[in-house]
Amino acid sequence: MSRIPCIDVHTRKLRYFLVVAEELHFSRAAERVFLTQQALSRQIRELEDELGVTLFERTTRRVALTPAGSAFREAVLPVVAGFEEAVETARRTDRAVAGRIRVGFCPGAALELTAPILADFRTAYPEVEVDLREFPANDPSAGLATGVTDVAFIRLPQSTAGIETEDLFVDPCVVAVAASHPLAAHESLTVADVLAEPLTLSDTTDPAYRDFWSLASARTAPPPRFHPVSSITEEVALVATGMAASVTSSAARDYTPMPGVRYLPLTDWPGSRVALGWHVGERSRIVASFVDVVCAARDRETEVASLESRGLTAGE
């Protein structure tokens, strides 16, 4: 009796396929799944090779599902939905039984609010294990986008789908420049002062996040160059060389100090909103309790994350 061949297809590729099938446009689909267009196209071709069928008809003008692709989409939709529900059920059960919450954070987390928040939660819920994990600058969702965290301290704006957020405070924006840079002689800067400068920029594909830190809404022409960076330390090291300036948060001075770098207030650009994020429709009592503790700490510690509390003055 002949054996039926086993095809081991990763669910990630199935999700990529469903997004392309919905958009019928590789560039738009790539933005939604936080990949480059080339990387997404490669994933789809690998899926087609594994299945042994062509799922999409591709021309220079259009992308369309083949008959096999349409049939595959109808079959895959309930499979992926069922798998995602099974994963979420397992995660809810794990939190309820094990008493564990996975907390993601970007560099700096909630700044000076981080310690009182975690202390308050440990005091109120000593039986709950808190798993903390820092994420690099190229994942502004701090694990929420991939589901590896239950809650996360993040910076807005960003385009992460399927999350709810609660603002904690606004962190003013500054421009980091080398001490030898002509702009370093200023006490503060405006957006117009910075538009012609080469800038560092996180290598995330999140469009809202990139637009905010690149000053996109103020531009009529692109800057001389964006220097992609994957971490805050990489960013400040690049600034110190004088190769680029950086639009960053005022907290960067304290969390990533480096000799020869000056931080100048950016007076006419909105601050970055530091927020707590969690998954839409989250039903876990532990997550709800964590959100309540965070909001209570924010409302109590009204001055803790202020500009004055970090001692940041013009030109520092």
Q: What residue numbers bound the domain in which 37 lies?
A: 11-89
Phi, psi of 5 (to 5 degrees): -65, 140
Radius of gyration of the chain (CA): 23
User: For residue 3, is it within any domain?
Assistant: no
Helices 11-23 and 37-51: crossing angle in degrees, nearest 10, is: 110
Beta carbons within 10 angstroms of residue 155's beta carbon: 22
Quickly state the pLDDT bin for 316 (edges 50, 70, 90).
very low
Are 235 and 128 in a shared domain?
yes
User: For residue 25, is it within any domain?
Assistant: yes
User: For residue 6, is it within any domain?
Assistant: no
Report whether pLDDT(2) > 50: no
Are 71 and 203 in a shared domain?
no
User: For residue 2, is it within any domain?
Assistant: no
Coil/strand/helix, residue 281:
coil
- Model pLDDT, residue 36: 86
User: For residue 5, is it within any domain?
Assistant: no
Are 80 and 158 in a shared domain?
no
B/e letters for 176-212, b = 16+ CB within 10 Å, e = fewer, are bbbeebeebebeebebebbbebbbbbbbbbbeebbeb
User: For residue 123, is it within any domain?
Assistant: yes
- Token pair, residue 126, equals 């000593």
Distance from C-alpha of 284 to C-alpha of 170, rounded to nearest angstrom = 28
User: For residue 214, is it within any domain?
Assistant: yes
Distance from C-alpha of 73 to C-alpha of 65, rounded to nearest angstrom = 9
Report whether pLDDT(307) > 70: no
Any alpha helices (H) in 5-53, and if so which ranges? 11-23, 26-33, 37-51
Kindly give, in sequence order, each residue whose CB lies less than 8 Å from that of residue 5, ignoring residues fewer than 6 positions away. Answer: none
Are 280 and 234 in a shared domain?
yes
Fill in the amino acid letter for 57.
E
Are 144 and 275 in a shared domain?
yes
B/e letters for 47-82, b = 16+ CB within 10 Å, e = fewer, are bbeebeeebbeeeeeebebeeebeebbeebeeeeee
The CATH number given to whatever domain includes residue 80 is 1.10.10.10
pLDDT average, residue stretch 42-70: 92
Percent above pLDDT 90 for the chain? 66
Can you give the pTM of this predicted structure? 0.69
Are 159 and 301 in a shared domain?
yes
User: For residue 65, is it within any domain?
Assistant: yes
**Structural domains counted in the chain:** 2
Are 146 and 282 in a shared domain?
yes
Higher pLDDT, 168 or 12: 168
Distance from C-alpha of 206 to C-alpha of 253, rounded to nearest angstrom = 25
